[in-house]
Structure 1
Amino acid sequence: MIEILGQSYGVTVGSDIQRDGMYLEVEDNAKVALAEVFYSDRDNSMTFTGYRADLPLPLVEWLIAHAKERLTPASGNGG
């Protein structure tokens, strides 16, 4: 759980076997997904998907920064 601009958001980190990668997702209090950053193990790319048009910029910035830290393989770990 994170709080940005007085609003709480749930955070999920997971693995997606079908897409062959990992994701970091934020959701609102009703457990509705708001945005996701996906890291592909196939081509080492990252993509952002927003599921709402009016996401607060600080939330998007937090999600992208943390996805880079959590999803990208650390150097020296074979990635």
Structure 2
Amino acid sequence: MNKWEADGRRFEVLMASDIVRDGMALELSDLDSERGSGPALEIFWSDADKTFTFFAHRAINIPLEILSRFVDEAVRSLPPSS
């Protein structure tokens, strides 16, 4: 999707479809993490029950600016438009 920067750190945000869980997710990865690649946080939209779920795949220190932007982006882009 796109790359974001804050406090001299780089993050990547990707949107993913999940057929097994019946919904879509927004994933946040810390590109400067020493813990390896892959998503650190996920916000999942369930088509089945029309809810959001927030999940941390591992501990991550995120600037508030990035976390707020991540949540705003999920609310804006995950639920299907009517």
TM, length-normalised to structure 1: 0.82
Q: How far apart are 1:53 and its partner, in Å?
A: 4.9
Structure 2: gaps (5+ residues)? none
Deviation beyond 4 Å, 4+ runs, structure 1: none
TM, length-normalised to structure 2: 0.79
- Identical amino acids, percent of aligned pairs: 33
Aligned to 1:67: 74
Q: Which amino acid aligns with 1:27?
A: S
May I ask how many residue pairs the two structures share in their alignment? Answer: 75
DSSP 3-state at the match of 1:32: coil
Structure 1: gaps (5+ residues)? none
Q: Does 2:48 correspond to 1:42?
A: yes
DSSP 3-state at the match of 2:40: strand
1: CA distance between counterparts of 2:78 and 2:6?
21
Q: Which amino acid aligns with 1:47?
A: T
Aligned to 1:25: 27
